[in-house]
Amino acid sequence: MKRTLNMIGILVLGLVAMWPLSVGAQGRLNILCSPDPAWCEAVKQSFGKATGIQTEFVRLSSGAALARLRAEKGAPTFDVWFAGSGDSHWVAQADGLTEFFRPKAWGELRPQLTKAVDGHYIPLYTGLHGLGVNEKLLKEKNLPVPETWKDLGDPKYKGLVAMPNPNTSGTGYVLMTTIVQIYGDDPGFELLKAIHKNVAQYTRSGGDPSLLAGRGEVAIGVSFANDVVERGRKGFPIRFVAPKDGIGYEIGALSLVQGAANRESALRLIDWALEPENQKLGPQNGEVSIQSHSRTPIDPDVPRFEDVKLIAYDFGKYGTPAVRDGLIKRWTEQVFPLPR
């Protein structure tokens, strides 16, 4: 009996010891965070320290984040949607889930970006979309580096491709829209089917394919350039390749959630995130792309827009909810279930 009571005593002490000290915080902020979790962590720490606001985030890829906002419409748990590709933010604004406004720093943001977003979201960064290629593995297999999206559908790359699932990932969605914009709807879907046969793994998040390619699990990962550069910096043998038939790009976005409970804190975050000093956190934590403030220095490792063939990406069309949902549905029903 004594032993039992001792055990209970230890357990109670342990429980009490784990009780958190309540922190007196001025205000809270809940961030829906879509990019590399390291960037989310960095923002949470820096912003929290700079303002004293207790900041929490949940990391969800762009597609999943959109789904979450849709689910919580009217009573959102989040106050601000930080980063993630612009297509999903466009849809959110069209659906009435986010609120667009021009922040104080609007005039100082890069004009191409502010024009392209057409009043739907606040641009945060922009980066190229393409392939992350592990040349070592390809060389071992005596295969050439793919030059076009059509090459990606060639059966010689079977089992060597990784791409994100467009249902959850903005990166995957941009792949779909890029191919459809280059080749047209039906031929585009035929190409997607061909690519599907070569896919070894579908990932949930857009950052994973470049990691898989870097580790040598696959040879080619569909990815935004920032992820590829980041992996390269970490030491993985991976290089960014821009297919010659045209590539898409993303404008990373920042949006205030409609009906946010902590609106004041959210507005402070938005202003904070657009300052050049704080935009530098992005490239330091995995988002190696062009940040939206015109005075933020561009990292030399970022692939330049001038060196590649960009398609005229129709953000408006592919940000329309009906178009987006329809495309994803078509892919899920016609391409994904095919045996590979």
Residue with smaller CB distance to another protein, 100 or 336: 336
Three-class secondary structure of residue 115 per DSSP: helix
Is 291 within 8 Å of 279 (Cβ atoms)?
A: yes
Residue with smaller CB distance to another protein, 63 or 188: 63
Q: In the bound complex, what is the minimum distance in angstroms from residue 187's beta carbon to another protein?
A: 18
Query: Given the rule CB under 8 A, which of 55-63, 82-90, 270-278, 293-301 is the region that contacts another protein?
Result: 55-63
Binding mask 160-179 for another protein (x = CB under 8 A): -----x-xx-----------
Q: Whose CA is closest to 134, among 226, 235, 248, 250?
A: 235
For residues 42 and 36, give the distance between their C-alpha atoms in angstroms, rounded to a whole number: 10
Restricting to residues 237-296, name those near another protein by CB under 8 A.
Answer: 237, 261
Residue with smaller CB distance to another protein, 75 or 312: 75
Residues sharing a CB contact under 8 Å with residue 338, sequence separation 6 or more, in sequence order: 193, 196, 197
User: Would you call 243 exposed, middle or buried from its count of C-beta atoms within 10 A (0-12, 13-18, 19+)?
Assistant: buried
Binding test (CB under 8 A) with another protein, winner from 201, 245, 276, 330:
201
Residue with smaller CB distance to another protein, 71 or 312: 71
322 binds another protein (CB under 8 A): no
Is 210 within 8 Å of 221 (Cβ atoms)?
A: yes
Question: What is the β-pairing status of strands 199-203 and 290-291?
Answer: unpaired
154 binds another protein (CB under 8 A): no
For residues 267 and 269, give the distance between their C-alpha atoms in angstroms, rounded to a whole number: 5
For residues 130 and 214, give the distance between their C-alpha atoms in angstroms, rounded to a whole number: 15
CA 45 centroid distance within chain: 20
Query: Given the rule CB under 8 A, which of 26-34, 83-91, 106-114, 302-310 is the region that contacts another protein?
Result: 26-34
323 binds another protein (CB under 8 A): no
Q: In the bound complex, what is the minimum distance in angstroms from residue 304's beta carbon to another protein?
A: 26
Residue type present at position 309? K
Positions touching another protein (CB under 8 A) are 1, 3-4, 7-8, 11, 14-15, 18-20, 28, 30-31, 36-38, 41, 45, 54, 56-60, 63-64, 67-68, 70-71, 74-75, 77-78, 140, 159, 165, 167-168, 199-205, 207-208, 211, 214-218, 234-237, 261, 328, 332-333, 336-339
